[in-house]
Amino acid sequence: MGDNDPLRPHSHEPNPQPPTADPTIRLVTPDEREILVTVEELQEEYPAVTLPDCYIVSTGHGTSGPFAFTGVRLLDLVQRYAGESWSQLEAISADGFGNRVMAAELVESDPAGPILLAYAINRNQLTRKGGLVRMIVPGEKDDALRQVKWLAIVRIRR
Ligand SMILES: Nc1nc2c(c(=O)[nH]1)N[C@H]1C(S)=C(S)[C@@H](COP(=O)(O)O)O[C@H]1N2
Ligand SMILES: [Mo]
């Protein structure tokens, strides 16, 4: 994929502007099925989990928080569509910012809490500008490169 590979290390300068308006996520299963997951489905079909003490730690430009993020466990979403037959996934935003998540990180979650797909912050719905839907990785303390705003694609790999 060359220089535009969203999974390669990228700049710490966050993009402040949502690249698109629609927060629907395209989930791709290991057998290449594509499922569109809306914010409403996340809110209605999965247990809501709130992590009360999240920080967005940004090397070079400060830390913000604490925030209480509410959303679904990424593990719950993945297990619904891929069962147990997967080893990792790619979480990629609409502005081409990405992260790889290994199964072990979801199954044996960090003591700080499980990785979430968040739709609310401090009990209020996240705005699109605020990152809706945002991946929150509570175990990440050193920079904010895993706190992916505007999640657009979840590609699950065998
Ligand atoms: N989609 C997307 N997510 C992103 C970024 C980005 O540019 N695009 N920047 C990251 C970086 S470098 C930082 S510091 C934080 C900033 O989060 P904030 O905008 O909520 O302060 O978002 C992270 N998540
Ligand atoms: Mo950053």
Residue 87 in any domain: the answer is yes
**Residue 18 maps to a domain:** no
Q: Check if the beta carbon of residue 71 is closer than 8 Å to that of residue 118.
A: yes
- CATH number, domain of 51, equals 3.90.420.10
pTM of the model: 0.95
Centre of ligand 2 from the C-alpha of residue 93, in Å: 15
Asked whether residue 2 carries a pLDDT value surpassing 70, the answer given is no
Structural domain includes residue 10: no
Range of the domain at 100: 25-157
Please indicate, yes or no, if residue 4 is contained in any of the structural domains.
no
pLDDT, tens digit (0-9, with 9 covering 90-100), for 78-107: 999 999 989 999 999 999 999 999 999 999
**Strand (E) positions, 25-121?**
25-28, 34-37, 49-57, 63-73, 88-93, 98-102, 116-121
Distance between Cα 145 and ligand 1 center (Å): 7
Nearest residue (CA) to ligand 1, atom 16: 14
Q: Are 136 and 122 in contact (CB under 8 A)?
A: no
CA–CA separation, 155 and 151 (whole Å): 11
How many of the other CB atoms lie within 10 Å of CB of 35? 14
Number of domains the chain is built from: 1
Query: What are all long-range contacts of 41-45, with beta carbons under 8 Å and residues at least 24 apart?
Result: 42/71, 42/72, 42/77, 42/117, 42/119, 42/133, 43/119
Distance CA 72, CA 5 (A): 27
Residue 6 lies in a domain: no
Cα 116 to Cα 43: distance, rounded to the nearest angstrom: 12
**Is the minimum distance from the CB of 148 to ligand 1 under 6 angstroms?**
yes
Q: Which two tokens stand for residue 156?
A: 């699950």
| Pocket residue to mutate for ligand 1, from 59, 149, 150, 153, most atoms within 8 A of Cβ | 149
* Residue 59 belongs to a domain: yes
In a domain, 12, yes or no: no
15 or 25: which leads in pLDDT: 25
